[in-house]
Structure 1
Amino acid sequence: MAPEIYLKLGYGMAADWWALGITVYIMLLYELPFNHKDPVEQMMSILYDDISLPEDLSEDASTLIKELLEKDPEFRLGSGDVGAEMVKEHPFFRDMDWDHLLQRRITAPYLLENEDHQESQENPGCQAPALPPSAARIPSELQEAFRGF
């Protein structure tokens, strides 16, 4: 959870940008940025600890994560009136064609070979949770509710 949620300050889109920062961190480093078994320690870490990033992580990836995981929601990347446009303009996304993404004309650069996506169950050093098995296909009568989503 974003720091402002723990502090009961109310929250808005900035909490979603925090969640994106957590997601990017996990996707790139395959571990959790704040990882304590004790819930109080976890909360304190989110509120007060700086995240550590490996030196070999690209500068663009590092700045994206740091700016999305800014503790103060008013200064977090994506906050304010320009919101998503600010995130989309970050150098990390310089090669992203947002129109092609929206039109679903982009192919993933890497596809997992393990069709059940259970890498984390097979690797005891991995902190990331395993992805669930693929869900059953949604019946055609329910597909309409998701058109354009």
Structure 2
Amino acid sequence: MGRPIRKDRMVSGSSDFGADNEGKIGVTAYRTFGGSKVDSATAYIVAQRSSKNFKLHLDDSTEVVMNLKAVAPGSLANDSSTGLGEFMVQGILDDSTVVYISKFHNNTVQYVTAGGATGSGPYVRNAEGTDEGQVSGKVNINVL
């Protein structure tokens, strides 16, 4: 897996269950195993379990481990071969291109565009409302 993401990259302030979620990496959409897709405004990453598996705090206040997928929200599967649900995190490049995050590293992310082009770059977590392509040369990821 390599080195896990530093915890301060996933949370800011208190990391207690159900605590203030300001600055946490927001989950754009998720689908629990066997469930339906949820476009989320409040789900966020709590902890990293492996290179693609993360513990998430969902909209209904439960915490589950899900598999990160670099796909559009409508393409999340509800019958993953891993037996886990799937989620996606959306990012925005400085030219306003929407990207889907495929892998997190401490300072960078790998991503896929809607057209299938891949890339990587450093990322920033900005306050909601200021995270849309505002930092040149960085992937702006959604935060709560």
Which has a greater percent of helix?
1
TM-score by length of 2: 0.24
Which has a greater percent of strand?
2
TM-score by length of 1: 0.24
- Structure number with greater Rg is 1
